[in-house]
Structure 1
């Protein structure tokens, strides 16, 4: 009698990506609860919140990192940031490569899914280039920042502060071990240039970096690369100009700075919402118009396959292009002499819709559980979804339930709306369609 072997249940790449983040968060929570990880004991909720914030490279914190965590605790946070920024699966496959183990097709598929890489072929080479770039970028920035901070803080603290902030910046985490984040460095061009370059590069996407690395001519760049580079430059320039104008006479932020320092500080505060989370202005003291602009920037986020989250810049650009094309009577939107496929437009709309639903649901729940004004709660929610880390100062005032809600939002924001969609719904290919009919809109 022959027995039919049972089908092995395989876990899908989106599920494994979500699971890897979840496991990392759990391990991080347990490590932060160790007695020698903190100066004073912290609750399980606060440990879980901090581990989630670090793993999802958000930067929201319910306590002052420097005075609450020991060096061991801070290194745990730093480790979670690095793992969360590049991806647990990337490091897992890298370990297999270091140990000389064969990287199977399943692991190659996971890498492809993690970084939105176009094909299975070349994924291992792509991963090597990513990891090499990460360590080179962080290494150069570490040396550069140490050059300024070692004379100011001494060798021990200067090197450690540089290492912590470089890793936090490149992975768009926004964690700082300074009590006022980076407010005391407002107008410091060296610190601004080094750290902002890191989180702009980290947030632009590894696919873009590798594409630029291999193609020296701008004409050879892929459409995605062109959209990310030009879109980032334009959006950063517009945001900088608006923040400079809006905050120019605000005595609580940059009014007392020189004009040049105002420009530098406005630039830093304009690029940090996508999605670094550092701040050189006290967010709670900013004008409401500036906060509204920051909300939009946080929701947009950075690039696909990057250390940033949000709906992604290319998603936002495709929606804008499709909308403008519709009003201009153009059937198919185009940019850089390339046509955008209808499939990408629908996908972008779906991402924006799912993201809006996540934010609205969390905001609705927080409005029930928290007795805090609406704007700070809205700001905190979108900051959590975009894994930004900027806050109007209410994070430590949240209830335990509110902190758990934000943890879920941070997790969903990091794994991305599409991963969430694929986890909940199994896509089916229909071999039929119904007849068309009219529906009134607008």
Structure 2
């Protein structure tokens, strides 16, 4: 037994960080599915079935929020605790959690572990990774703690002390990790999300704040804390903050105008509630998965815009998913430079490298291809879904958003498998998975450089 374990650890140790990341997330999801499949995890004391348990575990670890059963009414307190633990672990990344325990036990973090942390946090340099991880852990618990405290000001008076505290902690972690799981089923009906609090300024503002802080990325948070002034921030932070702000503003204005007179969504609300609802729905598209109005009643134009904003998603090294704000910003700047005839791609008096542009193009086209192919496959295996419902479900899964208009519980057996794969691809990163699948030899730079070939484009 010892020799087998030694061989397994030796094999893992020799793997590249990308492969370890993929395997690590896979093991965590499988472990969560086994626990959630136990009768103790459900309120009725029955097994949910392995596929549904796997779906829920994948959605929690990949901080997506798509569910096949209502979290608040189906799962027991133990099951809910397992889910929120998986969300916290998936949101931070299992290597961050492992590093936390290493720091607590004063275990030395070797080079191999630093490489894994670098891959997990999507960082360029190896220097300062342990310090960054320590700050991430401290920031996460501090932000989630403050969020839970603020939410308790509404939850405790409304639901009582014990339930109010649990609801505050659960929703604070779920919001910061951009997961979208909620416990409001017993209060406002199954799959109702936060529609019960459509008129609550505190709940709307706090949840939006947690979503934004979790979605802009830990390096940006640290940069803001250290430098405080916008002018002193690095290029990455400026791009993330500006792009995030622009996307939220676009979503807010479009939803506010398009749904203003829709009696099924914003039409019956007063002006304050319309403002809060429009802002909330725009912010939640950062891959958070909460909603305060019924998404199935939105106009098709609004849903189409939501598809685009969901696919873009959050920012690198954050708890959110999607193609990432910096990817889209880089492509936009590339097109802008091409149009005005500049040789270099410039922003904030800095030049963006060709490597960054190539990576952005790769991420974008892989993401679009997976979204289109996933929509095609889901439409085939779920004929009851319209094209818009299928694309919404697929992009929501791949971008780890968690919003749904087609009804995730009505997915077929094959449909659930497709969504599970998409959630996993979206959280771990399709580029990371493809790199992990390639052999070392296939990525060695060729010593042969061929003559340039002329291709007519445009």
TM range (shorter): over 0.9
Separation of aligned partners in 2, 1:387 and 1:140: 25
Separation of aligned partners in 2, 1:8 and 1:422: 16
Equivalences for residues 22-33 of structure 1 within 5 A: 22-33=26-37
Match of 1:437 in 2: 453
Q: CA RMSD in A?
A: 1.4
Q: Deviations over 1:132-167 (max 9, x none)?
A: 000000111111110121111111111111111000
Which of 403, 407, 430 is the equivalent residue of 1:417? 430
Q: Deviations over 1:327-368 (max 9, x none)?
A: 222222211121211221111010001111222222222122
Separation of aligned partners in 1, 2:401 and 2:27: 22
Question: What TM-score, normalized to structure 2?
Answer: 0.93
Match of 2:322 in 1: 310
Separation of aligned partners in 1, 2:406 and 2:75: 19
What secondary structure sits across from 2:101 in the alignment?
helix
Match of 2:188 in 1: none
Separation of aligned partners in 2, 1:375 and 1:211: 39
Match of 1:132 in 2: 138
Q: 1:437 to 1:271 in 2, by over 3 A?
A: same
What secondary structure sits across from 2:43 in the alignment?
coil
Q: CA deviation at 1:88?
A: 0.6
Which of 74, 79, 99 is the equivalent residue of 1:93? 99
Q: 1:228 to 1:9 in 2, by over 3 A?
A: closer
Match of 1:119 in 2: 125
Match of 1:207 in 2: 219
Which of 12, 37, 41 is the equivalent residue of 1:37? 41
Mean Cα deviation higher: 97-106 or 37-46: 37-46
Q: CA deviation at 1:35?
A: 1.1
Equivalences for residues 82-231 of structure 1 within 5 A: 82-179=88-185, 180-231=192-243
Q: 1:256 to 1:403 in 2, by over 3 A?
A: same
Separation of aligned partners in 1, 2:271 and 2:336: 37
Which of 6, 18, 23 is the equivalent residue of 1:14? 18
Separation of aligned partners in 2, 1:118 and 1:51: 30
Q: Deviations over 1:400-423 (max 9, x none)?
A: 111011000000000113202311
What secondary structure sits across from 1:334 in the alignment?
strand
Match of 2:335 in 1: 323
- How many residues are paired up? 437
1:238 lines up with 2:250 in the alignment? yes
Which of 73, 77, 89 is the equivalent residue of 2:79? 73
Q: CA deviation at 1:68?
A: 0.9
What secondary structure sits across from 1:130 in the alignment?
helix
Q: CA deviation at 1:9?
A: 6.4
- Any stretches of 5+ residues in structure 2 without a counterpart? 1-9, 186-191
Separation of aligned partners in 1, 2:114 and 2:13: 18
Q: Is the 8 A contact 2:12 2:20 kept in 1?
A: no
Match of 2:310 in 1: 298
Q: CA deviation at 1:99?
A: 1.0
Q: CA deviation at 1:393?
A: 3.9
Separation of aligned partners in 2, 1:395 and 1:8: 35
What secondary structure sits across from 2:264 in the alignment?
coil
Q: Deviations over 1:207-261 (max 9, x none)?
A: 1111112223322211000001111112111210111001101111111111111
Match of 1:378 in 2: 391
Question: What TM-score, normalized to structure 1?
Answer: 0.96
Which of 401, 422, 430 is the equivalent residue of 2:414? 401
Q: CA deviation at 1:39?
A: 2.3
Q: Which consecutive aligned stretches of 4+ in structure 1 deviate over 4 angstroms post-superposition?
A: 6-9
Mean Cα deviation higher: 124-133 or 231-240: 231-240
What secondary structure sits across from 2:450 in the alignment?
coil
Q: CA deviation at 1:50?
A: 0.4
Equivalences for residues 255-294 of structure 1 within 5 A: 255-294=267-306
Q: CA deviation at 1:37?
A: 0.5
Separation of aligned partners in 2, 1:311 and 1:366: 21
Q: Deviations over 1:61-113 (max 9, x none)?
A: 01111111000001110000000000011111211111121111111111111
Match of 2:375 in 1: 363
Separation of aligned partners in 2, 1:393 and 1:210: 39
Q: Is the 8 A contact 1:187 1:262 kept in 2?
A: no
